[in-house]
Amino acid sequence: MCPQGPVLVRGAQRVLDEDGVEHLVTRPVVAVCACDRSARKPWCDGTHKSVRSDRT
């Protein structure tokens, strides 16, 4: 888990999103959004960086 960022998942073959939709994983490591602001959920798109800077 990255502080205020995504959860890095290694070795997964698929990820289920909050609606139960299955997303196939084709990379050895993927970043799953934990801030709920990504436009590409379940994947992190970097939006958490702007959210974090708004709070500091």
Tell me which residues touch ligand FES (CB under 6 A): 5-6, 33-35, 37-38, 44-48
25/46 with CB nearer ligand FES: 46
Smallest distance, ligand FES to C-beta of residue 10, A? 16
Smallest distance, ligand FES to C-beta of residue 35, A? 3
Smallest distance, ligand FES to C-beta of residue 37, A? 5
Question: In terms of Cα–Cα distance, which of 26, 29, 22, 28 is closest to 44?
Answer: 29
